């Protein structure tokens, strides 16, 4: 979403609306200004239910539930709700305005700028998010009875990192709690499919361990900067969540310690009973990793430094906007809600995820219909079972290699016999050595090899580009291209739907890695032209 032009003087309750930050399926998020005595000015975020839903009781109940639940959670790692109000037909709640970016924006900006987030800071961000979630999970009613709250929508979009290094959990809009007015029907899925736990995918009973699984997914994606369970269809997503066990992140991320592998893989256990029982336990182990990697360094200061470095442009833009808000000036524009939205976070490729599954049929529909329960003998829950399957795979590979060597030896013996035994086909024997001496007209001399073969690892950003050499398709990135060793350059062409064709010249004089950043194809007629202005504020008077 682009910057929103805003000169409106619309008010909601006691707040002046100065721009739109985002629009979701149920509500719109606005930037507001609260005026007070003696020139007091403060920026706030206003969440207002969309007008066409304002008359529907189910959506009103969900909105009221969110406000009631979020207002009860008082924790430094949860966004603070100030007020629930109604202005005519407008039902709204106000929250603190946070200067920062969500975790998805951090991943995208790190890819664009080619700056690493860092293993320790990834662990710290998710440790702080786990602390906020635990506060929500522990919420009780007025009589002290647990509300059994489950967020159900933990994702990179709902983990917010301020420019000062604080981490906040956002959006309890679809949270499940014992005293909610709006209830989810049996079998109904709520939340983003790529961040659901297996039991949530099946529409079964859920508890806080659902959020623990989602924490594991987001941590995995922060570490690898790739989408763990993103697939082409929703059914494929559900199958991946329920069946596929990813490789430990240390196999993909340099510097990732085994201690962090254990945390990630335990959080990603397919069976809820094998996961951490609480988000507090996740935080405890993650902070142990942070101390292991950072020693006495302050992780919040380090995170703030990273955010200031990654988002220097947006820090200045938002600082100038807030300065105008607090001075009572007209706001010319509101910065877009998310950074680098045009950048796709790549998904895991086949070689980067374990292809063995935890059992069951091959049809994802049967997976959902059968309820898909994983017995203890089928494992699929945690780093130990993952390593056991990998060890089994290695043993099978070793056996295949042994068979291949045996066949190779047999072929070699047969060739030697064929070459050394005299034959009656007109091929003479060398008088001195008695070995076969084939004439040139029968067997041509082998051509000289210039120096062997080199391997070029071709990687594109994003993955999945087709690589062509001399007009011939050779493979899809990432893959290893084998070429004869030489000093003459060759041209590789990379093609991917939605991106410009990219030509790269490489000299195959040594084994090497070629990384190519693809540029998005320009949309026809995008340079000028009419159409609606992005981000314009619409009045609902």
Residue 174 has pLDDT above 90, yes or no: no
Place of tokens 């570490």: 223
- Going from the C-alpha of 422 to that of each of 143, 168, 368, 435, 446, the distances in angstroms are 100, 83, 68, 8, 22
Do β-strands 453-461 and 512-517 pair in parallel, antiparallel, or remain unpaired? parallel
The most confident of the ranges 18-22, 47-51, 475-479, 512-516 is 475-479
Cα 248 from Cα 224, distance rounded (Å): 11
* pLDDT at residue number 366: 44
For residue range 23-55, list pLDDT tens digits in order: 877 788 889 888 877 667 788 999 888 878 877
For residue range 437-459, list pLDDT tens digits in order: 444 433 333 333 346 888 888 88
Measure the CA dihedral 238/240/245/248, to 10°.
Answer: -110
Side-chain half-sphere CA neighbours of 322 within 13 A:
15
Residue 178 has pLDDT above 80, yes or no: no
Domains of the chain are 100-334+356-381 (1.10.510.10), 392-437 (no CATH), 453-517 (2.60.40.1120)
Going by pLDDT thresholds of 50, 70 and 90, the confidence category of residue 185 is: very low
Cα 440 from Cα 8, distance rounded (Å): 90
Going by C-alpha positions, the residue among 194, 196, 185 that lies closest to residue 150 is: 196
Q: What are φ and ψ of residue 372, in 5° steps?
A: 45, 85
Cα 403 from Cα 157, distance rounded (Å): 50
Average pLDDT over residues 68-94: 85
Going by pLDDT thresholds of 50, 70 and 90, the confidence category of residue 271 is: very high
Average pLDDT over residues 185-199: 71
Active site annotation includes 153: yes
Sequence-distant (6+) residues with CB within 8 A of 217 are: 194, 195, 228, 229, 268
Cα 520 from Cα 113, distance rounded (Å): 16
**Between these two residues, 35 and 187, which has the higher pLDDT value?**
35
Token pair belonging to 18: 């100065």
Q: Which of 61, 65, 143, 153 is catalytic?
A: 153
Going by pLDDT thresholds of 50, 70 and 90, the confidence category of residue 428 is: very low
Going by C-alpha positions, the residue among 395, 353, 361, 357 that lies closest to residue 379 is: 357
Cα 141 from Cα 42, distance rounded (Å): 31
Token pair belonging to 489: 């350059």
* pLDDT at residue number 391: 57
Cα 43 from Cα 325, distance rounded (Å): 6
* pLDDT at residue number 381: 42
Find the helix or strand (DSSP H, E) in which 161 lies. strand 159-162
For residue range 200-237, list pLDDT tens digits in order: 888 888 899 999 999 999 999 999 999 999 998 999 99
**Share in percent of the chain as helix, strand, coil (round to 5):** 35, 20, 40
For residue range 406-423, list pLDDT tens digits in order: 676 666 656 654 555 444
E strands within 50-151?
81-87, 90-96, 100-102
Contact 485, 508 (CB under 8 A): yes
**Between these two residues, 519 and 181, which has the higher pLDDT value?**
519
Q: What is the mean pLDDT of the chain?
A: 78
Q: What is the DSSP string of 343-379?
A: SPPPBPPGGGS---BSSS-S-HHHHHHH-----GGG-
Whole-number CA gyration radius for the chain:
30
For residue range 307-359, list pLDDT tens digits in order: 999 999 999 989 888 888 877 777 767 887 788 888 889 988 766 665 444 44
Cα 155 from Cα 371, distance rounded (Å): 24
Percent of the chain with pLDDT over 70: 72
Contact 121, 260 (CB under 8 A): no
* Residue 156: other Cβ atoms inside 10 A: 22
Q: What are φ and ψ of residue 406, in 5° steps?
A: -60, -45
Going by C-alpha positions, the residue among 173, 117, 104 that lies closest to residue 345 is: 104
Residue 429 has pLDDT above 50, yes or no: no
Residue 436 has pLDDT above 60, yes or no: no
Residue 531 has pLDDT above 50, yes or no: no
Residue 180 has pLDDT above 70, yes or no: no
Q: Between helices 279-294 and 299-310, what is the axis angle to 10°?
A: 80
* pLDDT at residue number 540: 32
* pLDDT at residue number 526: 42
Residue 161 has pLDDT above 80, yes or no: yes
For residue range 87-126, list pLDDT tens digits in order: 877 788 899 999 999 999 999 999 999 999 999 999 999 9
Percent of the chain with pLDDT over 90: 36
Going by pLDDT thresholds of 50, 70 and 90, the confidence category of residue 258 is: very high
């Amino acid at each position: 979403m682009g910057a929103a032009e805003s000169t409106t003087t619309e008010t909601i309750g006691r707040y002046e609306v100065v721009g739109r930050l985002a629009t979701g399926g149920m509500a719109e998020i606005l930037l507001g200004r609260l005026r007070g005595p003696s020139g007091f000015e403060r920026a706030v975020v206003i969440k207002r239910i969309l007008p066409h839903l304002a008359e529907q009781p189910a959506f009103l109940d969900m909105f009221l539930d969110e406000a009631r639940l979020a207002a009860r959670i008082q924790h430094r790692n949860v966004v603070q709700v100030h007020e629930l109000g109604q202005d005519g037909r407008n039902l709204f709640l106000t929250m603190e305005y946070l200067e920062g970016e969500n975790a998805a924006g951090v991943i995208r900006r790190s890819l664009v700028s080619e700056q690493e987030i860092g293993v320790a800071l990834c662990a710290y961000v998710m440790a702080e998010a786990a602390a906020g979630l635990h506060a929500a999970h522990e919420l009780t009613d007025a009589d002290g009875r647990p509300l059994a709250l489950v967020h159900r929508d933990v994702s990179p979009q709902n983990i917010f990192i301020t420019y000062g290094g604080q981490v906040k959990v956002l959006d309890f809009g679809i949270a499940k709690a014992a005293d909610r007015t709006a209830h989810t029907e049996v079998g109904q899925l709520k939340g983003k499919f790529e961040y659901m736990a297996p039991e949530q995918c099946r529409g079964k009973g859920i508890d806080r361990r659902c959020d623990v699984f989602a924490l594991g997914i987001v941590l995995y994606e922060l570490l690898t900067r790739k989408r763990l369970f993103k697939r082409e269809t929703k059914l494929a997503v559900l199958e991946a969540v329920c069946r596929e066990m990813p490789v430990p992140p240390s196999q993909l991320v340099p510097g990732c310690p085994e201690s962090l592998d254990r945390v990630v893989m335990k959080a990603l256990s397919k069976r809820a009973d094998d996961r951490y029982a609480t988000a507090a336990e996740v935080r405890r182990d993650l902070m142990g990793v942070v101390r292991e990697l950072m020693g006495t360094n302050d992780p919040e200061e380090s995170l703030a430094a990273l955010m200031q470095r990654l988002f220097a442009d947006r820090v200045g833009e938002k600082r100038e906007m807030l300065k105008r808000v607090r001075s009572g000036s007209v706001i010319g524009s509101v910065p877009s809600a998310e950074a680098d939205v045009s950048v796709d976070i790549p998904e895991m490729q086949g070689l980067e995820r374990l292809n063995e599954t935890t059992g069951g049929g091959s049809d994802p529909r049967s997976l959902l219909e059968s309820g898909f329960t994983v017995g203890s003998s089928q494992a699929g829950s945690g780093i130990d079972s993952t390593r056991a399957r990998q060890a089994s795979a290695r043993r099978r590979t070793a056996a295949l290699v042994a068979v291949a060597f045996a066949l190779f030896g047999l072929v070699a013996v047969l060739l030697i016999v064929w070459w050394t035994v005299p034959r009656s086909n007109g091929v003479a024997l060398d008088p001195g050595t008695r070995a076969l001496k084939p004439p040139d007209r029968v067997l041509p001399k082998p051509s000289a090899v210039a120096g062997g073969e080199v391997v070029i690892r071709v990687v594109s950003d994003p993955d999945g580009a087709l690589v062509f050499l001399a007009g011939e398709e050779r493979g899809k990135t990432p893959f290893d291209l084998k070429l004869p060793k030489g000093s003459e350059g060759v041209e590789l062409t990379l093609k991917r739907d939605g991106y410009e064709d990219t030509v790269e010249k490489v000299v195959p004089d040594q084994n090497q890695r070629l990384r190519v950043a693809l540029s998005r194809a320009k949309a026809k007629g995008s340079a000028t032209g009419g159409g609606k202005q992005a981000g314009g504020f619409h009045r609902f008077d």
